[in-house]
């Protein structure tokens, strides 16, 4: 990785004010950029060849960050700047700053806002793929956990309703631990239409307890099946359940009302992964 090109000492510097603004969704959307903090995400970004717009380094950590990034190269137009420790710490969103803050361009090639028909047309369909639908998952930590599990269990496409948490929220990025940089995500303006469309070609199992729900473990999941998980507090809407082809529930001990949305999604994805029969080492 190339050495820093500049030193920034003023809080009023345009790059500093931009970085601070990117903590808010409206500015991320307006600028087409997002930020993330920490060495782990920085190295994941380098591995994924993320289009980095800028890299900000804490003055006392420059040597260790450059050593960790040895062998990697940044895009030629990436700004690399050093900040005094006090200024960096003020800007950082970490309790114990590790010394690097990155700004990246939105990953429009793998994160799209479109209909599922358009996505399939552009990507050769979804035959035999693992698909996870999420309706109104608004907690960033839960969404990040689900993205991490989706990547771990080979989900080909993650389909979100528009009112889910922003995938570029810093808490989502931290919980996803870099997996968002590799995961296909489709945000559907008409989420119910996406469910109905997919249900014409494969089964969609809504995670809910209703009169037709089958106990997880007693249903034979198949390659190409999809699972649907809802909001942390209210679960799935009646319309989403109606749009699914089947329902399934996760058995648990009496006295426990429900599982956290991130945990429930992970359990369902493991079962879907196990049913697929082609696992990594």
Using pLDDT thresholds of 50, 70 and 90, give the confidence band for residue 277. Answer: low
Residue 169's nearest CA partner among 35, 16, 7, 19 is 35
Q: d(Cα 248, Cα 275) in Å, to the nearest integer? A: 15
| Average pLDDT over every residue of 145-153 | 97
Least reliable range by pLDDT among 75-89, 121-135, 191-205, 228-242: 121-135
pTM for the complete prediction?
A: 0.92
Alpha-carbon dihedral sign for residues 102, 108, 110, 112: positive
| Average pLDDT over every residue of 78-101 | 96
pLDDT greater at residue 75 or residue 183: 183
Task: Look over the chain and give the mean of its residue pLDDT values, rounded to a whole number.
Answer: 93
For the residues of 97-158, what is the DSSP string, one character each? --SEEEEEE--TTTEEES-HHHHHHHHT--TT--EEEE-S---HHHHHHHHHHHHHTT-SEE
* Chain segment 159-195, per-residue pLDDT in tens: 999 999 999 999 999 999 999 999 999 999 999 999 9
The answer to whether 223 and 275 are in contact (CB under 8 A) is yes
pLDDT greater at residue 247 or residue 258: 247
Residue 225 has pLDDT above 70, yes or no: yes
Per DSSP bridges, beta strands 100-105 and 52-58 are: antiparallel
The pLDDT value given to residue 263: 93
Using pLDDT thresholds of 50, 70 and 90, give the confidence band for residue 62. Answer: very high
Which residues face 111 on adjacent strands?
185
Using pLDDT thresholds of 50, 70 and 90, give the confidence band for residue 281. Answer: very low
Residue 52 has pLDDT above 90, yes or no: yes
Residue 208 CA, chain-centre distance (Å), reads 23
Q: d(Cα 117, Cα 108) in Å, to the nearest integer? A: 17
Residue 141 has pLDDT above 60, yes or no: yes
The pLDDT value given to residue 209: 86
Q: d(Cα 224, Cα 125) in Å, to the nearest integer? A: 11
| Average pLDDT over every residue of 224-252 | 94
Q: What is the 3-state secondary structure (H, E, C) of 146-157?
A: HHHHHHHCCCCE
Residue 279 has pLDDT above 70, yes or no: no
């Amino acid at each position: 990785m190339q050495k820093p090109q500049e030193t920034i000492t003023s809080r009023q510097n345009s790059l500093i004010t931009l970085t601070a603004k990117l903590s808010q969704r409206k500015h991320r959307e307006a600028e087409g950029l997002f930020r993330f903090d920490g060495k782990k995400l920085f190295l994941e970004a380098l591995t994924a060849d993320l289009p980095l717009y800028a890299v900000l380094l804490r003055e006392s950590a420059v040597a260790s960050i450059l050593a960790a990034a040895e062998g990697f190269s940044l895009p030629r137009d990436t700004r690399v700047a050093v900040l005094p420790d006090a200024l960096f710490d003020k800007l950082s969103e970490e309790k114990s700053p590790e010394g690097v803050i990155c700004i990246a361009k939105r990953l429009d090639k793998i994160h799209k806002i479109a209909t599922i028909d358009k996505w399939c047309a552009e990507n050769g369909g979804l035959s035999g793929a693992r698909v996870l639908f999420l309706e109104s998952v608004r907690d960033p930590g839960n969404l990040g956990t689900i993205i991490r599990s989706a990547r771990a269990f080979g989900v080909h496409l993650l389909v979100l309703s528009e009112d889910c948490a922003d995938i570029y929220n810093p808490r989502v990025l931290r919980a996803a631990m870099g997996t968002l940089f590799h995961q296909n995500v489709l945000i559907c303006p008409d989420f119910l239409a996406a469910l109905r469309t997919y249900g014409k070609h494969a089964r969609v199992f809504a995670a809910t307890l209703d009169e037709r729900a089958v106990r997880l473990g007693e249903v034979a999941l198949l390659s190409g099946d999809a699972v649907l998980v809802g909001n942390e507090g209210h679960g799935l809407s009646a319309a989403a359940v109606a749009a699914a082809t089947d329902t399934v529930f996760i058995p648990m001990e009496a006295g426990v009302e429900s599982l956290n949305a991130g945990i429930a999604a992970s359990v369902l994805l493991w079962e879907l992964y196990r049913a697929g029969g082609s696992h990594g080492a």
